[in-house]
Amino acid sequence: MSLIDRSAEHSSLPFSKVDWPAIRRDFPLLTQQPYGKPLAYLDNAATTQKPNIVIDSVAHFYRFDNANVHRGVYQLSERATAAFEAARDKIKYFLNAPLREEIIFVRGATEAINLVAQSYARPRLKPFDEILISAMEHHSNIVPWQMVCKQTGAQLKVIPINDNGEIMLDSYRALLSEKTKIVAITHLSNALGSIPPVQKMITMAHAREIPVLLDGAQAAAHFKVDLQTLDCDFYTFSGHKIYGPTGVGMLYGKKSYLEAMEPYQGGGEMISRVSFESSDYNSLPYKFEAGTPNIAGVVGLAAALGYINTIGLDNIRQREQQLLNYATQALEQTAGLRIIGMAKHKASIISFVLDSAHPHDISTILDQQGVAIRAGHHCAMPLMTRFNVPATARASFSFYNNESDIEQLVQSLQLVNQIFSGKMGE
Ligand code: 7TS
C-alpha cells in the first residue's frame, strides 16, 4: 500500500510529499515482465490500470454485498442500493455537479453521447439545423451525431484546428449561428493531447443559447473538472479511463434539459407505472437507467474516485506535466521522429510518426521490449486525414508512469530506427 492518507477525501498533501514510487506499487499489473522486460505501460488513453483498492472493492462487493438495487426490501439489497447511490454522490462531488439526480450511470462515454444524441437532439432537430463538433473528435463524438443527422436531416459542421492541433476560435465563432442546435466537443483530445479552450467555447455558445456537451472521456483522469464553473450542459466520462472498471461511466446533464428529455431505452427501473396502454417514466436520474446497472462497476468507480482524491488532481496534473515535458524533450531528440500535436495546452498524450517505420511496426517492436503503446488511427480517422498521416504511434502517460518508462520507450524507438535502417548487426 502506498503511503498516501486514505482517510481524507481530498488530499492536502503538498506535491513534494507525494510518494510516486509507492503509488505505482498500488497497481499490481504493473509488476509484470513481458518478454522478461519491465512493463512500460504507455497506453493509458485507451484504458488505465486499476489500483488494489478498486480491484478489492469490486471483489468485496461480489463476496459480501451482491444483490440487485432499488428493488429488494431485504438487508443485502438495501446495502447494495446504498453503495450504488453513495457512488452517485461521490461523482457529484468529484465533478462539483449541482445535483445528484443530474448524474446518470451509463456504460461509458460512448453510451452517454448516444443518449444525448437520441434523447435530446433527435426529437428536436429539423432539416438544415446544425450540430457542431471539432476536427479532433473521437468516433464516439462523431458517429452518434451523424446518425441523428441521418434521422432528422440536420447537418454536421466541423470546427477546424491549426497545425499545432488547436481549435481555431475565429472559425468556431463564424460557425455558430441560429442553425446551431448543439455543440459537442472533446475536453481533451485522445489522439493529440490538446486541451481545447472549452470555457471560452461554452460562453460563446451560451451567448446564443446553444447547449454544449463536453466529452470528458480523457480529461476527467488528468485534471480537476468543475461543472459549476464550466457551466456546460452535458458532460461524460468512462470509468475505465479513470482507474475504475470497464463497462461503467456517467452522464451529467443539467436538470432542466434532462427533465425535458424522453428516455431512448425502456425497461425495468425507468418507469413509475406501466400498463399495456402506456407507461409513466420514473423521476431523474432513474428514467435514463433502464435495466439492471453495472452495480459492481459503479462501486469500483467510486473507489477509483476516492483513490484519485487522496492523491489529489492538482498533484496528478503536476506529475503528468513533468512526464509530458520529459518525454517530449526525449522524443524530439530521436532521429526521424515527428510529434503530431504541439498545442500550447496539452495533457500527457503524445502522438508521433517515425520516418523509418509504420506505427504498427513500431508498436510490434516496442511490445517485445516491454513497452505498450497504441498505434493506429485512435478512433479519430478524420483527424489522421487532417494531418495527412495514415496512423500515428501514441504514448499516453499516467501519474504511475516514471522517467524509466520513458527511457525504455526512447531506447526502443532507437532500436526501431536501427532495425529499419538496416544497421542491425553491422
Ligand atoms: N471520447 C474520447 C475522447 C475517447 O478518447 C474515447 C475512447 C471515447 C470517447 C470513448 O470512450 P468509451 O469508454 O466509451 O469507449 N478512447 C480510446 C482511445 O484513445 N484508445 O482506445 C479508446
Residue 8 has a pLDDT of: 43
Give the nearest ligand 1 atom to 140 CA. Answer: 9
- Residue owning the nearest CA to atom 18 of ligand 1: 46
Residues 44, 110: one domain? Answer: no
* CB distance 282 to ligand 1 below 6 Å: no
Q: Which CATH number goes with the domain that contains 270?
A: 3.40.640.10
The per-residue pLDDT for 269 is 87
Residue 294 lies in a domain: yes
CA-nearest residue, atom 21 of ligand 1: 46
Is 204 in contact with 167 (CB distance < 8 Å)? no
Does any domain span residue 425? no
398 lines ligand 1 (CB under 6 A): no
DSSP string, 35-87: GGS--EE-BTTT-----HHHHHHHHHIIIII---SSS--SHHHHHHHHHHHHH
Residues 288 and 398 in one domain: no
- Is 91 part of a structural domain of the chain? yes
The CA distances from residue 90 to 171, 303, 331, in Å, are: 38, 9, 38
* Domains contained in the chain, number: 2
127 shares a domain with 72? yes
Residue nearest to atom 16 of ligand 1 (CA): 46
Whether residue 149 lies in the annotated active site: no
Q: Is 190 in the pocket of ligand 1 (CB under 6 A)?
A: yes
- pLDDT, residue 3, reads 39
The predicted structure's pLDDT at residue 237 = 98
Task: Say what the pTM is.
Answer: 0.96
Q: Tell me which residue has cell 413509475.
A: 272
The answer on 231 and 197 residing in a single domain is: yes
Co-location of 256 and 373 in the same domain: no
Q: Are residues 266 and 147 in the same domain?
A: yes
| Domain range enclosing 410 | 4-50+312-420
Q: Is 217 in the pocket of ligand 1 (CB under 6 A)?
A: yes
Cα(242) to ligand 1 centroid in Å equals 12
Catalytic residue among 379, 381, 389, 415: 379
Q: In tens digits, what is the pLDDT along the chain, a chain of 426 residues?
A: 443 444 444 556 999 999 999 999 999 999 999 999 999 999 999 999 999 999 999 999 999 999 999 987 899 999 999 999 999 999 999 999 999 999 999 999 999 999 999 999 999 999 999 999 999 999 999 999 999 999 999 999 999 999 999 999 999 999 999 999 999 999 999 999 999 999 999 999 999 999 999 999 999 999 999 999 999 999 999 999 999 999 999 999 999 999 999 999 999 989 999 999 999 999 999 999 999 999 999 999 999 999 999 999 999 999 999 999 999 999 999 999 999 999 999 999 999 999 999 999 999 999 999 999 999 999 999 999 999 999 999 999 999 999 999 999 999 999 999 999 876 644
Ligand 1 center from residue 425 Cα (angstroms): 40
pLDDT reported for residue 203: 98
| Ligand 1 lined by 412 (C-beta under 6 Å) | no
Q: Residue 33: its pLDDT value, please?
A: 97
Task: Please say which residue of 309, 325, 344 terminates a domain.
Answer: 309
Does the beta carbon of 44 sit less than 6 angstroms from any atom of ligand 1?
no
